[in-house]
Chain A
Amino acid sequence: MTTPAANRPHWAWLAAALAWVFPGCGHLYLGRRKTAAAYSLIVTATFLLGLSFEGRLYSPEPGQPLTWLATFTLCGAGLLNIGARALSESPSGTILAATYDYGCTYLLSAGLMNLLLMLDAYDIATGRKA
């Protein structure tokens, strides 16, 4: 069943940009409410769990090329990343915490998931994916 939103033409770049802003927004714009809600729940939960496990919100460091990749990955999480950096008391995580490595993994995975959602929203809007 198609919703009225599913019948209107979409700007592919807008769908991708909205997907970056908050997980699921791109799919919501494309009229896929249920999948948008599911994506939003999964990616947000992954990101918040990463913060709760005291993972690190990476920033670029000279001489540490992998921190640039990690920063790019985290930037994929859009407003979640920006909000977490603004509100977090310890953006660099707690390296001595037992869950630190898990936290980093959860945070990076949330960023990667949202980057994939951006590509997915773009592909749906351009008709490459049904």
Chain B
Amino acid sequence: MAKQTGSSEKDSNVTKHENPSQGSSGVDTPNPKALSQNEDDNQPATEYEKFGNLDFNIKSPEAEASNNKSESESQETNSVSGNSGTGSSTEADGDFTLDAIYGSYPELLDQAGTEVIIGPDNRVRINPTTSYPWRAICALKITAANGRGFIGTGWLISPRTVITAGHCVFMHAEGGWVRSIQVIPAQNDGLSPYGSCSSNVLRSTQGWVNSKNRDFDYGAIILPTNCRLGATVGYFGFAVRDNSFLMASALNLSGYPGDKGGRQQWFMAQRPKSVSSKVITYDIDTYGGQSGAPVWVLQSGNRYGVGIHTNGHSSGNSATRIDQSVYNNLLNWKNLGL
């Protein structure tokens, strides 16, 4: 497949797969025809799910929740610097199967670790982190409302929108909306090759904020207007994918685990164990600090987030699945950060 470079091509790819059309309900919904234009006709599993039985009522759990901070209140701590990014990819078509994953990331083949988490630790360190997609993944340093510190992971979906777990932006046990989050794309030990930005403009869902419902555990950080990190490092697309597609796909997950210090990016890919309407479960090794990490598929050379990593469990780690309602919120938040 020909390489795709340049920010305009990047933007085109993202827009093509997220281009909304106005549905009869008045709520923006993806246009399946437009979405299928870039799909392989031999891969029916790549088609989007149907959109029936969705509740778009403003009081629904999926309804947006905000910390009501204007962007002017954001606390910028640094400006962007470093290389120009493209957000494009160079992999071959048909590379969403597990067997091909290391073909897509040959630089990672000889870096597999041997430590034990629960069973073998198959994570691979990303070093350096300055190529796409790794540079679009961000270490998060979180200051809770009560002043306590936490670490998490986020991923850019637009120049100024970072997606993460809901529990990284709203902590029920720590005073609610967090005080601020420092976003550091491509952090690599002591290196922050693209600088960092801090923000307190946050978004999540009513289902998470009001009910602490795991199914709605996702959120967003909107960076200050003069901090367009995604314009430098590139960003992920995101998509709704059906069960059969997901079960046949290699899921990629990369983030900043605490057992490695929280300043190194570690990656693993594997097929899921199961999928439900709201959750994707997998045996991808993770550790505290990887909350909010992207779970993405590599399809026809493009990266699409299909889940937001949130939870760990000995019987399987899990992500909030990007279904239609999650997609709609992500799209709204993406538009806030253009």
Binding partners A and B: no
> What residues of chain A have their CB less than 8 Å away from a CB belonging to chain B?
none
> What residues of chain B have their CB less than 8 Å away from a CB belonging to chain A?
none
